[in-house]
Amino acid sequence: MATDTTIVTGQASTERHGAFGDVVFRSLTLLFALLVLVVLGGVILSLVSGALPALEHFGLRFLVTEAWNPVTEKFGALAPVYGTLVTSAIAMLIGIPVAFGVALFITELCPNWLKRPLSTMIELLAAIPSIIYGIWGLFVLAPFVQEHIEPALIGTLEQAATREVAILQLQPDAEQRLLRLSAEARDREAMFEYLRRLGAAPGLAEVHLVSHQVQLEDPQRPIQFAVQARIREAQ
């Protein structure tokens, strides 16, 4: 009889300790959940506080105006907002099908010996903040481009430069080894002469005219054109 009483007392003590642990765990999880909401509310308040001066000065038209001219003090956030929405939509259009495809492959088609390392690799990629990839590009990819690609491009463009052509924009693609540039030429002859010079440059290959615009209402205006070329391998 004494043994039964001891067992019942021990079970009651264990249950009390278990109930106390459950209360502590529930309280901690509730505290952290509320902390997340507080942090989110702080972020929202900080954003609203930072945006109030612009909204008070420009009004709601600040959100639907595209102009951004510091000289005339005309500012609008439409371009950044539109760019954010478009890039987010493009990222979702690309990322969602890829994510579903990878998940389907891992769960249904992937061999057992590959499931674990592939899942771990994907989880690591998802866990790394995107800023880390940006830092890698800044400290690894950018020096590589500056050391191996920029000198060849600068030398090539200097050889092909003429007074009748002004370069407006350069878009080198190190991964595909392509060079895209936009320029203005005084006339057709200057444009074709520049293309000929680019084609003869040793650092470029497969130079071709992508597009050009001629102002019919004002033939004296410069011709805007776009060129694409393949960057040769550095010797």
Name the domain count of the chain: 3
78 shares its domain with 102:
yes
Residues 6 or more apart whose Cβ sits within 8 Å of residue 187? 164, 223
121 shares its domain with 97:
yes
Task: Quick: pLDDT tens for 96-131.
Answer: 998 899 889 888 888 888 888 888 888 888 778 778
Of 144, 166, 187, the residue that ends a domain is: 144
154 shares its domain with 177:
yes
116 shares its domain with 188:
no
Task: Quick: pLDDT tens for 38-62.
Answer: 999 999 999 888 888 888 888 888 8
Of 124, 144, 164, the residue that ends a domain is: 144
User: Mean pLDDT for the chain?
Assistant: 79
Full domain range(s) for residue 30: 2-61
- Crossing angle of helices 188-200 and 150-160, rounded to 10°: 140
In this prediction, residue 215 has a pLDDT band, given cuts at 50, 70 and 90, of low
Of 118, 144, 170, the residue that ends a domain is: 144
In this prediction, residue 34 has a pLDDT band, given cuts at 50, 70 and 90, of very high
212 shares its domain with 139:
no
pTM of this structure: 0.43
What is the arithmetic mean of pLDDT over 186-192? 81
Query: What residues are paired with 211 via a beta bridge?
Result: 226
155 shares its domain with 140:
no
pLDDT value for 21: 74
Task: Please check the confidence at residue 94 and state whether its pLDDT lies above 60.
Answer: yes
38 shares its domain with 94:
no
Domain of 220: which CATH number? 3.30.1360.100
85 shares its domain with 117:
yes
157 shares its domain with 212:
yes
19 shares its domain with 80:
no
Q: 228 — alpha (psi -120 to 50), left (phi > 0) or beta? A: beta
